[in-house]
C-alpha cells in the first residue's frame, strides 16, 4: 500500500503588528485569498474551511464557527465548516481534522485560516484573559498570578535544576529577536536586542524580564492543505507532513509533574520521527512554540539534541540563532515575532513551509530538507510535534 | 458588605469543606477513602479510582518551596497595591503541590527548598485564603 498523508500547498500571512486600524476581516480575507492563490487552485476547489479559533475575539469566533468565511468568499465547493480550539495548539487541531477529511475522500482541499487583533483591546482585559483562561480560578488566580507569573515560576525551577544562568536564558531572547529582526513578518523586523538590553529590561515576574515576555499583537495567516497525491500535481511548492506525535500533561501548571515538558517533548518527537522514519539528527530546523525562553531549552533536551539541562548552553553559544549550526525557531516564537493569540502556531507552520520551500529570505536555513515543529496550547498543557519534509516518503 | 476587590476563589460544592476549614484555621486535604490518594485540588470524584467516598485529612501546615517568582508588574489593576507579589509553588508532606503567596518575608529572603508554614488571612466574611511564611 502506498503511504499517503497531508501536504501544505498554499500559504499567506500578514505582518505581525499593533495596528487597530487593520480590521479582523480584512486580515482574514487577505490571508485566505493569498493562500488559495499561492496554492494555484480555483477557489471553488476548497471543500472545507477549518478555522483556528481566535481566542478572546468573540465576534470573530461566531463568524468563523457559523460559516461566514465560505459565504463571504463565495467558496461554492465548500461542503463543511468547523473550528478548532486548543489555545496555542489550535492550528495543530485544524491540521489533524483536515487530514481526516481528506483521508476520508470527502474533500480534496481544506482552507485553514486565522485572524486576531489585540491592539484594540484594553491591556487589563488581556491580562485578565491570559490569567484566567489557562489557570485555575479557585487555587491560582486569587493569588495574583498572571501568565507571566506562572511561567516565571517554571523558569526559576528550570534554572535551579539545570544550573542555567539568567544570562544564558537571556541569550535565547537575543537569538529569537535576531531571527525576528531578519523577518519582515515580525513586529521586531530590523530591531535586534543585545544581552544587556534583555538583562537590563524591567523585572516582570522573576526571573523573567520585560523583553522575555510576550508583546501581544495583531496578525493572521492561512494555509491550504491537501493529500500527497494532489500535492504532487501542484509541483514544488508542497511541503509534506511525515510524522506526528502528541502528549497531554495537565491543564493547571502547578499539577504538572513533567514541569519543563521535557518528557512530553521527548515522547511526542519520538513518535513523530519514528513515523517519518527519521532521526532528530536528520532535522535541518527545529521550530519550538513555547512562548517563553525555557521551552526553547527544554525542547532541545527532550528532542535529544543535547543532554538534559544543557539546552540553554546551546543558545548561549550562538548555535541556535542566525548563523548557528543548529538553527532553531527561525519563526522567532512569540518573544521574537509578537504574540497573536492562537495565531502563533499558525505562523510556526507557515514559517516552516517557507524554510522548506527555500523562501525564508535572510533567515533561510541551508539545504532545509526536514523540519521538526512543536506547538503547545493553554499553559503548555500539551506538546504536538510534527515532522515535515520537502518530499513525501 | 466586603470591600475586597480582588478575585475570590470560585468555590465548587465539593471544595466547600476546604474553605470551611481555612475559616477555622485548618488546612484540609481531600482524601480518597477507597484508594488512599490525597487529592488536590478537590474534585467530585477521586481522579485515581473514581470513588465518591471522599473525606478530608488535616495537613500539618508545613511545606517546602518548590519554586517561586516575584512579580513586579503585569498584573490586573486590583492587584497592583500588593506588588511585589511573591508567587510560590509549595510541596506539602502530604504529597501535594499548591500555588500560594509567600508572606511576612522579603523577595531576597526567599529560596527554593525553604521551609514554610501556613498562615490564614480572612479576606471576606466567608473566605479565608491560606498563605505561607518562612518558618
| B37 shares contact with chain A (CB less than 8 Å) | no
pLDDT greater than 70 at residue B123: yes
**CB neighbour list of residue A77: distance below 8 Å, 6 or more residues apart:** A44, A45, A46, A47
Architecture of the B60-135 domain: Beta Barrel (2.40)
| Domain residue ranges in chain A | 6-120+217-234
Backbone phi, psi, residue A19, to 5°: -150, 90
CATH of A6-120+217-234, one of 3.10.20.340, 3.50.50.60, 3.40.47.10, 3.40.50.720: 3.40.47.10
Tell me the per-residue pLDDT of B20-40, one tens digit each, with 9 for 90 and over. Answer: 999 999 999 999 999 999 999
For CATH 2.40.50, the residue range(s) in chain B are 60-135
* Gyration radius (Cα) of chain A, Å: 19
| B77 shares contact with chain A (CB less than 8 Å) | yes
Residue with cell 530590523: A190
Strand A285-288 and strand A80-84: pairing?
Answer: unpaired
Residue B116's closest CA among B95, B84, B93? B93
Q: If residue B88 lies in a helix (H) or strand (E), which one and from where to where? A: strand B85-91
How many Cβ atoms are within 10 Å of A141's Cβ, its own excluded?
21
Using left for φ > 0, alpha for ψ between -120 and 50, and beta otherwise, residue A235 falls in left
Per-residue pLDDT, A3: 67
Burial A162-174 (b: 16+ CB within 10 A, else e): bebebebbbbbbb
Give Cα separations from A103 to A4, A45, A90, A106, A246 (angstroms): 8, 16, 20, 8, 20
**CB-CB under 8 Å, B69 with A208:** yes
**CB-CB under 8 Å, B69 with A149:** yes
Distance, in angstroms, between B53 CA and closest chain A CA? 22
Per-residue pLDDT, A214: 92
Per-residue pLDDT, A126: 85
Q: Which residues of chain A have pLDDT under 70?
A: 1-3
Q: Return d(Cα A340, Cα A328) in angstroms, integer.
A: 20
Distance, in angstroms, between B67 CA and closest chain A CA? 5
| B121 shares contact with chain A (CB less than 8 Å) | no
**CB-CB under 8 Å, A206 with B75:** no
Structure confidence at residue B3 as a pLDDT band (50, 70, 90): confident
DSSP for B25-71 reads T--EEEEETTT--EESS--SS-TTT----EEEEE--SEEEEEEEEEE
**CB-CB under 8 Å, B6 with A153:** no
The DSSP symbol for A135 reads: S
- List the beta bridge partners of residue A82: A50
Per-residue pLDDT, A1: 40
Q: What is the pTM of this model?
A: 0.96
**CB-CB under 8 Å, A204 with B74:** yes
Q: Return d(Cα A154, Cα A167) in angstroms, integer.
A: 17
Strand A370-375 and strand A285-288: pairing?
Answer: parallel
Per-residue pLDDT, B1: 52
Question: Half-sphere exposure of A209 toward its Cβ, with a 13 Å CA cutoff?
Answer: 17
Backbone phi, psi, residue B70, to 5°: -95, 120
Tell me the per-residue pLDDT of B48-72, one tens digit each, with 9 for 90 and over. Answer: 999 999 999 999 999 999 999 999 9
Q: What is the ipTM of this complex?
A: 0.97
Amino acid at each position: 500500500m502506498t503511504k499517503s498523508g497531508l501536504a501544505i500547498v498554499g500559504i499567506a500571512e500578514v505582518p505581525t503588528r499593533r495596528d487597530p486600524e487593520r480590521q479582523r476581516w480584512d486580515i482574514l480575507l487577505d490571508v485566505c485569498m493569498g493562500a488559495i492563490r499561492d496554492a494555484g487552485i480555483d477557489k471553488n476547489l476548497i471543500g472545507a474551511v477549518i478555522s483556528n479559533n481566535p481566542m478572546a475575539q468573540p465576534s470573530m469566533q461566531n463568524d468563523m464557527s457559523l460559516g461566514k468565511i465560505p459565504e463571504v468568499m463565495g467558496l461554492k465547493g465548500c461542503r463543511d465548516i468547523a473550528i478548532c480550539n486548543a489555545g496555542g495548539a489550535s492550528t495543530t487541531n485544524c491540521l489533524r481534522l483536515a487530514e481526516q477529511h481528506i483521508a476520508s475522500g470527502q474533500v480534496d482541499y481544506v482552507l485553514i485560516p486565522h485572524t486576531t487583533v489585540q491592539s484594540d483591546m484594553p491591556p487589563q482585559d488581556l491580562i485578565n484573559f491570559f490569567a484566567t483562561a489557562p489557570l485555575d480560578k479557585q487555587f491560582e488566580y486569587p493569588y495574583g498570578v498572571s501568565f507571566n507569573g506562572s511561567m516565571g515560576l517554571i523558569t526559576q525551577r528550570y534554572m535551579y535544576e539545570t544550573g542555567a544562568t539568567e544570562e544564558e536564558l537571556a541569550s535565547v531572547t537575543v537569538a529569537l529577536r535576531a531571527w525576528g529582526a531578519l523577518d519582515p513578518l515580525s513586529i521586531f523586523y530590523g530591531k535586534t536586542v543585545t544581552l544587556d538590553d534583555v538583562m537590563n529590561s524591567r523585572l516582570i515576574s522573576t526571573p523573567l524580564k520585560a523583553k522575555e515576555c510576550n508583546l501581544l499583537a495583531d496578525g493572521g495567516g492561512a494555509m491550504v492543505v491537501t493529500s500527497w497525491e494532489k500535492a504532487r500535481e501542484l509541483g514544488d511548492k508542497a511541503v509534506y507532513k511525515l510524522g506526528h506525535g502528541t502528549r497531554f500533561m495537565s491543564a493547571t501548571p502547578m499539577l504538572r509533574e513533567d514541569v519543563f515538558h521535557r518528557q512530553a517533548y521527548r515522547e511526542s518527537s519520538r513518535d513523530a520521527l519514528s513515523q517519518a522514519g527519521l532521526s532528530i539528527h536528520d532535522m535541518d530546523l527545529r521550530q519550538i512554540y513555547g512562548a517563553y525562553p525555557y521551552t526553547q531549552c527544554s525542547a532541545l533536551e527532550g528532542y535529544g539534541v543535547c543532554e538534559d539541562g544543557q539546552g540553554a548552553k546551546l543558545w548561549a553559544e550562538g548555535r541556535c540563532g542566525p548563523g548557528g549550526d543548529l538553527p532553531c525557531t527561525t519563526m522567532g516564537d512569540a518573544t521574537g515575532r509578537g504574540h497573536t493569540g492562537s495565531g502563533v502556531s499558525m505562523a510556526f507552520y507557515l514559517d516552516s513551509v517557507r524554510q522548506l520551500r527555500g523562501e525564508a529570505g535572510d533567515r533561510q536555513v541551508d539545504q532545509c530538507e526536514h523540519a521538526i515543529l512543536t506547538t503547545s496550547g493553554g499553559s503548555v498543557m500539551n506538546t504536538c510535534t510534527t515532522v515535515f519534509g520537502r518530499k513525501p516518503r | 458588605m466586603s470591600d475586597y476587590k480582588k478575585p475570590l476563589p470560585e468555590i465548587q460544592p465539593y471544595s466547600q469543606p476546604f474553605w470551611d476549614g481555612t475559616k477555622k484555621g485548618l488546612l484540609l486535604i481531600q482524601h480518597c477513602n477507597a484508594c488512599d490518594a490525597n487529592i488536590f485540588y478537590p474534585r467530585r470524584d477521586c481522579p485515581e479510582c473514581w470513588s465518591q467516598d471522599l473525606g478530608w485529612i488535616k495537613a500539618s501546615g508545613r511545606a517546602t518551596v518548590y519554586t517561586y517568582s516575584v512579580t513586579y508588574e503585569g498584573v490586573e489593576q486590583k492587584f497592583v497595591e500588593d506588588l511585589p507579589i511573591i508567587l510560590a509553588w509549595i510541596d506539602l508532606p502530604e504529597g501535594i503541590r499548591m500555588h500560594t503567596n509567600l508572606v511576612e518575608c522579603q523577595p531576597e529572603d526567599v529560596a527554593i527548598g525553604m521551609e514554610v508554614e501556613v498562615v490564614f488571612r480572612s479576606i471576606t466574611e466567608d473566605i479565608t485564603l491560606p498563605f505561607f511564611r518562612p518558618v
